[in-house]
Copies of this chain bind each other. A is one copy, B any other.
């Protein structure tokens, strides 16, 4: 069983956190992927935390969890904090594969997405 965990920073604005939870739902509904379970987690401020969410994935029976940093820039949160939070749980489950994917901002598709986003809103 394969899980995808979308990790955002977490905001004091509850609506921002809800957007991320909603995003996880929309990702789950995309065609053509093989994740059995897609969820959202937050590095700071909001719940659920990364360790709690990873524990939840393992309890659901995940043999592989892909952690996707929903961040635009490769700052300290992406480079250090998310891997550190993930490591707290990963070390307890040597038989589960934990993979930290590249963050959103490094996607090669972003430039085309900006063009199509801007054009779809036309004048």
Q: How many copies does the complex hold?
A: 2
Instruction: Say whether, besides A105-B19, A113-B107, A117-B102, A73 and B13 are in contact (CB < 8 Å).
Output: yes
Residue A84 lies at the interface, judged by CB distance under 8 Å to chain B: no
Q: Mask for A15-55, Cβ within 8 A of B = 1, else 0?
A: 11001000100110110110000000000000000000000
For the complex formed, measure the closest distance between the CB of A109 and the CB atoms of chain B, giving whole angstroms. Answer: 5
Residue A6 lies at the interface, judged by CB distance under 8 Å to chain B: yes
Q: Is the CB of A113 within 8 A of B111?
A: no
Q: Is the CB of B99 within 8 A of A117?
A: no
Q: Is the interface of A mostly helix, strand, loop or mixed?
A: mixed
Q: Is the CB of A117 within 8 A of B104?
A: yes
Which residues on A are within 8 Å of B, measured CB to CB?
4, 6, 8, 11, 13, 15-16, 19, 23, 26-27, 29-30, 32-33, 64, 66, 68, 70-75, 97, 99, 101-102, 104-105, 107, 109-119, 121, 123
